[in-house]
Amino acid sequence: MQSWVLSANEADSHFPIQNLPYGVFARKGEEPRCGVALGSCIIDLAFLEAEGLVQAADEPVFNQPQLNAFMSLGAAAWDNVRSSLQELFRENGNPVLRESSTHCERALVPMAEAQLFLPFQVAEYTDFYAGKQHAMNIGSILRGPENALPPNWLHIPIGYNGRASTVVASGHDVRRPLGQVKAPTAEVPSFKPCARLDMELEMGAVVATPSRMGEPISVQQADDMIFGYVLLNDWSARDIQGWEYQPLGPFQAKAFATTISPWVVTKAALEEFRCATPPREKELLPYLHEPGPMLYDIELEAYLQPEGAASPTRITRTNYNRMYYSAAQQLAHHAIGGCKMNTGDLLGSGTISGAEKSEFGSLMELTWGGKEPLQLADATSRIFLEDGDTVTLTGWAQGNGYRIGFGSCSGTITPAPAHAPVSKLTQEA
């Protein structure tokens, strides 16, 4: 399928007509509203809806600053809008837009002129630890290879509840967090800026249709509830985490920022790239059995660019198909005890690492706990992130002559606050 929007037909475009990912955008002085990426343009869904050219529901859903209302409608509405858009923008399709310069100018906004926002209101955020190679690497660094995996790891997708309040869109700066740390030789902890700031290359699954409290869901039902996927960088303060995580797991070390890409790539666009999870080393309990392929073949890359560097350095290249548990399995496990899942819930996959060092998805792994500095293209090196560093994730599923791309997911590290707030009583003391 080709589009009359010519930039969408370029072989390396992330946004061909086969993709049509959803986001939220606005030009300067305008209110944010829903749109779809096509080539170098954004389709203004609010305009098309007002003109009666697309219809998701009886009431407008695209003139809003988040996708939640549309996502909650379910698969029939998603499929209907996707079919309408492909008919309007494919070569030799419905000519109502391409034959009217006025309509065309209103319907298509140059991406270069638009600001992109968080694509949906994040209801709640859960991060998983579902990449086996990553879990083996981190466990080996911290506990040795003989104790790398916790006893439950091969039986359940391990996760923790994160903070929806600090999920931000690509381009939002990330402030270095403050916190308690304790050196191995110190008797007591100290309070200071994080010194071992890390990135984590992940995918995020976006929950669209809710479940009911007290009612478990199957893996198939979980897959049906997922609207699409985003790139996700779950920034991590490794030194803060090392002191605080016993016995309840990550807290402040993970709560300060999570960055996602501005475009949600739908399951419909990814359908032909489905692939199976790997063979199981331990038989999973029946409620986690998959009725079919639930992973996706998506190439992923991460780049690091120091402040002032002429160009970024690619620090890793891996694939989403390296995961041990799929997003559908993660969602099914999340709800199995009766937890209610909501429209706008975000599930982080966990860091995605492959078997080779060039496929490791975090600096903790790439530098093996800080023992092996990572060399960059500008002749500098990194153990962990420094102020001014920009990390950019990107990814795509490669089709025959086209890509289903996610765009980019970037964040720049800014310095920690000069000091922490101190109570009046403490100051007087």
- Catalytic residue ranges: 134
**Is residue 225 within 8 Å of residue 216, measured between CB atoms?**
no
What are the structure tokens assigned to 335, written together? 């709800």
Say which DSSP state 146 is in: G
Buried b / exposed e along 326-343 (16+ C-beta atoms within 10 A): bbbbbbbbbbbeebebeb
- Residue 233's alpha-carbon distances to 62, 206, 302, 399, in angstroms, are 27, 15, 10, 25
| Rounded Cα–Cα distance for residues 255 and 235 (Å) | 9
* 23 closest CA partner among 5, 8, 7, 44: 44
| Rounded Cα–Cα distance for residues 376 and 304 (Å) | 8
| Rounded Cα–Cα distance for residues 364 and 180 (Å) | 19
CA angle in degrees (0–180, nearest 5) for 66-265-40:
85
Report the SS3 class of residue 259.
strand
Which segments within 297-373 are labelled E, that is strand? 299-305, 313-319, 346-348
Residues 6+ apart with CB under 8 A from 74: 208, 209
Helix (H) or strand (E) run with residue 180 in it: strand 178-181
* 178 closest CA partner among 240, 124, 222: 240
Say which DSSP state 325 is in: S
Could you give the count of Cα atoms lying within 13 Å of 406 in the half-sphere of its Cβ?
32
| Rounded Cα–Cα distance for residues 74 and 78 (Å) | 6
- Residue 251's alpha-carbon distances to 71, 173, 351, in angstroms, are 30, 20, 17
How are beta strands 167-169 and 258-260 bridged, if at all?
parallel
